[in-house]
Chain A
Amino acid sequence: MTETKRRDVMLGGAALAATLAAPVVARAQATDVAIIGFQMSSETHARAANAAAAAARAKGWDATVLNSEGALPRHAEQLDTLIGRRPKAIIVCMGKPVEAEAQFQRAKEAGVPVVTIMSGASTHTLFDIQVNEYKVGAEAALWLLGELGYQGNILTQRFEGNVGTRIRGKVLDVVLSENTGVRVLGTHTMARTASWRDDVRQGFQALLLRHGAQTQGIWASFDGQAFVIDDLLKARGVQKGRIKLVSIDGGAETYRRIADPDSTLMATVTIPFEEMGTRAVEAVERIVLKNEPKGAITSGPYLFMDAFLVDANNVRRFL
C-alpha cells in the first residue's frame, strides 16, 4: 500500500468513526426522545410523528424517528431496542399497546415513560392522546344524513383493521339504525394495508358500477379512501353535490378538495395530528423534565383533543 493510499484509508476510517460517533456525542448533551410512527407511509402517522420530532428539536432535544412499517414484530423489536437505549421518553404514534403489551410493560418497568398518540389506552403508558372517535364518527354520520335529509341510499367504505376507523364505522351503524330512511346499498371493506389504494379503487369501482345511479351519499372511514373515491366519481362525470361524500381525518389535500368545485369531496372531520405531536412533547417536558404529576395534564388514560367538522361553510379558514 502506498503512502497516499494508507493516508486515504486512515482519513476514511477517521471520517467513518466521526460520523458514527457524532450522534452519540450529541445525545450525551441533549434530551433524548424517541418517536415511533407505526406506518410512516400513512400520512396521518407521519404528520403526528414529524410534528412531535419538530417540537422536540425546537426545544433543542435530540429526537429520533423510527418507522415500524406497519409490522407488529418490527414495532416490538424497536421498542425493545429503545428500552435498552433508555431515552428520556418514547412517543408512539398510532402504535399497538395491546398487541405489543409485553414491550410497553417492559418500558414501564425500565422507567422509560411512554406517551402514545391515537393508539388506545394502556396501563403501561402515561396516557394516549386521542380524539373521541365515537364523537368523530357521529359528526361525520350525522353530517351525511343531514345533507341527505335523512332519506336516501348510501355506499360505505370501511377499514376494520384500525381501532379508530372501526369505531367510526360502528357509530355510523348506530346512527343508521335510528334513521331507517337511509339505506346502505353496498359496502366495501379494505383488507390490504400495503396496497390499500388499489384495494379501495377496485372494490369501490365495483360498488359504483352496481349502485352508482341509485346512490346519494358516500361515507369513507378516512380521507385517503375518500380521495380514491373522489377520483373514481370524477372519472364517472359526477358533479360536486350530486353524491355527498364525507370522510374523516383532515389535512391540506382534504381542504383543497373540499374547496375545489371539480372535486366531489364535501366534508371531513378534522383531527389535529400535528397538535397531538406537539402536545406529546409538551407532556414529556412537564412530566419527565419538570417532574409535574401526570394528573396535572389529564387524570385518565386519555388526553382528548377537539375534532371539528370542515365543509364548504368553513373550509376557507384552512386553506
Chain B
Amino acid sequence: MRGVLTRYGTALAGVVLFLAFAATAPVFLTMDNLALILKETAFLGILAIGFTLALVTAEIDLSVAEVASLAAVVTGALVHAGTAPWLAVAAGLAVGSVCGVANGVAVTVLKVPSLIATLGVAAIAKGLSFMLTQGVAFVGRWPSSFTGIARGTLAGVPNLVWLLGATSLAAWLLVKWTRTGAHLVATGEAEEAARLAGINTLGMKRLSLTLAGACAGLTAVLLASSLSSAAPAMANDHFLYAIAAVLLGMSMFEPGRPNIPGTLFAAFTLKVLGNGLVLLGAEYYWQDIVLGTIILVSVALSASGTGKAPFVKKLNFRR
C-alpha cells in the first residue's frame, strides 16, 4: 500500500483535484474548457519536458524561460517583417537549439556548473531580447499560416495538443526505449560508472541541454503563434511552473527520477488547478497558496516513501 502511495500518490491527488473541480466548478467539464486546459498544458508541458531531459543527465537548465522568450522575439520579429512563416519557425527552433548547445558547451567544455552556466545564458538571452525589441513587443495581425500553428486543429483536435503529444511521446521513447536514452539515464544516475563503461557522458550532457533548448524554442514558436505577439520575458511566467511540474513529476510514477509521464501529468494538474480555481472564483492569491501547498504535500508524501525529496536527491552540485 505504501509503495502504491509513493508511486502514484501525487497522481491520485491530481485525479482527486480534477474530480473535485468537476463536481464544483461550473463549466469545468465542458469540452471547450477541457480543450482549453489541454492547450494551456502544451506550453508548460513542452518547456517542462525540456527541463526534464536536462535533469535526466543531472544537469539543471535555468535558462529555458529566457531562451524561450528570446526565440519568441526572433520568431515574432521575422513574422512581423513579413518573412515566410516556415522560416520564422525554423529560426525560433534554431535559436532555442543554439542556446541549448551554448549551455552544453559551457557545462562540458568550459566546465562551468550547469546552475551557473544556464544562468549566464539566461542573462544573455534576456539582454538580446531587449536589444531586439527595445522593450516594445512585436504585435500584429500575423498571417494565419503562422497563427494557425497554435490556434488551428487537426482532425478536430487542437494542434497544440497534437504537438504536446508528439513531443511527449518522442521524449518518452528516447529516454525509455533507445540506447541513447539509456546512456542519458546512466550519465545522470552514475556519471563516473557510465564514463568507465565507455559512454560519452559529456556528449550526453550536451545532447540533453540541446534538447532542452530545442523544447524552449518550440514553446516560443507556439507562444508567439498563439498570441500573435512576441515580447521580452514573455515566457518567464512558465519558469517556476516548469520547475514545479518537473518536481511534482518526480514524485510520481518513478519517484525520485525525472520522468516524462510524471512531468506531463504534473503540468496538466497545475493547469487544472489554475483553471478550476478561476472558475470557482478564487482570488488570485489563493492560487499561489494552493499551488504551494500542493507542491509541499506532494513532495512530502513522496519523500516519506523514498526517504528524501526527489529534487534534492537528483541534483548534483559537485563538479
Asked whether B135 lies within 8 Å of A191 as measured between CB atoms, the reply is: yes
Q: Is B275 an interface residue (CB 8 A)?
A: yes
Kindly state the separation between the CA atoms of A161 and B141 in the bound complex, as whole angstroms: 20
Within 210-267 of B, Cβ neighbours of A (below 8 Å) are at 223, 226-229, 231, 233-238
Name the segment of A2-10, A61-69, A225-233, A273-281 touching the other chain.
A61-69
Within 98-131 of A, Cβ neighbours of B (below 8 Å) are at 98-102
Asked whether B236 lies within 8 Å of A189 as measured between CB atoms, the reply is: no
Q: Is A218 an interface residue (CB 8 A)?
A: no
In the complex, what's the smallest C-beta–C-beta distance from B72 to chain A, in angstroms? 10
Once A and B bind, how many residue pairs between them come within 8 Å at the CB atom?
Answer: 112
Residue of A nearest to B237 (CB): A71
Asked whether B278 lies within 8 Å of A160 as measured between CB atoms, the reply is: no
Kindly state the separation between the CA atoms of A20 and B141 in the bound complex, as whole angstroms: 40
Asked whether A71 lies within 8 Å of B135 as measured between CB atoms, the reply is: no
Asked whether A81 lies within 8 Å of B275 as measured between CB atoms, the reply is: yes
Kindly state the separation between the CA atoms of A81 and B21 in the bound complex, as whole angstroms: 14
Number of interface residues of B (CB under 8 A): 44
Name the segment of A21-29, A235-243, A261-269 touching the other chain.
A21-29
Enumerate chain B residues within 8 angstroms of A27, measured Cβ to Cβ.
26, 281
Name the segment of A72-80, A140-148, A286-294, A311-319 touching the other chain.
A72-80
Q: A71-B234, A101-B228, A161-B136 are in contact. Are A23 and B223 (CB under 8 A)?
A: no
Across the interface, B139 reaches (CB within 8 A) one of A16, A77, A99, namely: A99
Asked whether B227 lies within 8 Å of A24 as measured between CB atoms, the reply is: no
Asked whether B229 lies within 8 Å of A160 as measured between CB atoms, the reply is: no
Q: Is B166 an interface residue (CB 8 A)?
A: no
Interface of B is mostly: helix
Contact with A along B196-222 (1 / 0, CB 8 A): 000000000000000000000000000
Q: Is A85 an interface residue (CB 8 A)?
A: yes
Q: Is B180 an interface residue (CB 8 A)?
A: no
Q: Is A32 an interface residue (CB 8 A)?
A: yes
Across the interface, A77 reaches (CB within 8 A) one of B21, B26, B141, B274, namely: B274
Asked whether A84 lies within 8 Å of B33 as measured between CB atoms, the reply is: yes
Asked whether A66 lies within 8 Å of B134 as measured between CB atoms, the reply is: no
Residue of B nearest to A158 (CB): B135
Residue of A nearest to B150 (CB): A102
Asked whether B279 lies within 8 Å of A84 as measured between CB atoms, the reply is: yes
Asked whether B283 lies within 8 Å of A84 as measured between CB atoms, the reply is: no
Asked whether B27 lies within 8 Å of A77 as measured between CB atoms, the reply is: no
Q: A74-B237, A76-B226 are in contact. Are A191 and B139 (CB under 8 A)?
A: no
Kindly state the separation between the CA atoms of A101 and B141 in the bound complex, as whole angstroms: 9
Within 282-314 of A, Cβ neighbours of B (below 8 Å) are at none
Binding site for B on A (CB under 8 A): 16-17, 20-21, 23-24, 27, 32, 37, 40, 62, 64-67, 69-74, 76-78, 80-82, 84-86, 96, 98-102, 159-161, 166, 189, 191, 193-194
Instruction: Give 13 A-B pairs besides A77-B274, A80-B36 with Cβ atoms closer than 8 angstroms.
Output: A20-B25, A64-B283, A65-B283, A67-B284, A72-B231, A73-B223, A73-B238, A74-B237, A85-B278, A99-B137, A102-B147, A102-B151, A102-B227
Q: Lowest 3 CB-CB distances: which A-B pairs, in order? A: A71-B237, A67-B284, A20-B24
Listed by A's residue number, 6 A-B pairs whose Cβ atoms lie within 8 Å are A27-B26, A67-B285, A72-B231, A81-B275, A84-B30, A85-B279
